[in-house]
């Protein structure tokens, strides 16, 4: 007799696995988790402000933010000559999940 659970995919269609992988890779780095926590406490920061507050280089901060945006975890908003960053709902949910793991 087959186990009914073995016939059902846990995450749906195979495409969902790729989407989930992109999201997980987006926050699977200690610096990116720091950036997410920072943006939760202080939304609407620029790359310069994020780099300064975390004591990391501008290029490093920019690269991490780019990866977070690709994963759908950070929104970008133009503000004159700078770009402001804020968390998506997905990022907020992930931070809640991470806090439960602590």
pLDDT tens for residues 2-43? 445 555 555 666 568 888 899 999 999 999 999 999 999 999
Domain ranges of the chain: 13-101
pLDDT tens for residues 42-55? 999 999 999 999 99
List the one residue out of 79, 81, 51 whose CA is nearest residue 65: 51
C-alpha span between 65 and 71 (Å, rounded): 10
CATH, range 13-101: 1.10.10.10
- 74: region left, alpha or beta (phi > 0 left; psi from -120 to 50 alpha): beta
């Amino acid at each position: 007799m087959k186990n009914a659970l073995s016939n059902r995919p846990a995450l749906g269609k195979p495409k969902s696995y790729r989407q989930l992988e992109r999201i997980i890779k987006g926050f699977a780095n200690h610096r990116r988790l720091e950036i997410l926590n920072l943006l939760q406490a202080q939304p609407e920061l620029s790359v310069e402000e994020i780099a300064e507050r975390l004591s990391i280089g501008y290029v490093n901060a920019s690269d991490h933010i780019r990866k977070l945006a690709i994963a759908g975890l950070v929104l970008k908003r133009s503000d004159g000559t700078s770009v402001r960053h804020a968390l998506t709902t997905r990022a907020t949910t992930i931070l809640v999940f991470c806090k439960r793991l602590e």
